[in-house]
Amino acid sequence: IELAKGLLMKMKDCNEEEAYTLMRRQAMSRQQKLIQVAEQIIAMSELLG
């Protein structure tokens, strides 16, 4: 989750709290666990390089 937050902060140019909020909103809207959203963010980052 921390790694995903860091990646989001870099991609979205936001602070830690904003990144966490984005992840939580995504998890709630997709009815997923926060860890699942974090894993998706990490996978997407690896894919995009």
The structural domain count of the chain equals 1
Q: Count of alpha carbons within 13 Å of 13, Cβ hemisphere only?
A: 0
CATH of the domain at 35: 1.10.10
Q: Which domain holds residue 32?
A: 2-48
CA distance 3 to 42: 7
Write down the pTM of the prediction: 0.91
* pLDDT at residue 48 in the model: 94
Which tens digits make up the pLDDT trace of 14-42? Answer: 999 999 999 999 999 999 999 999 999 99
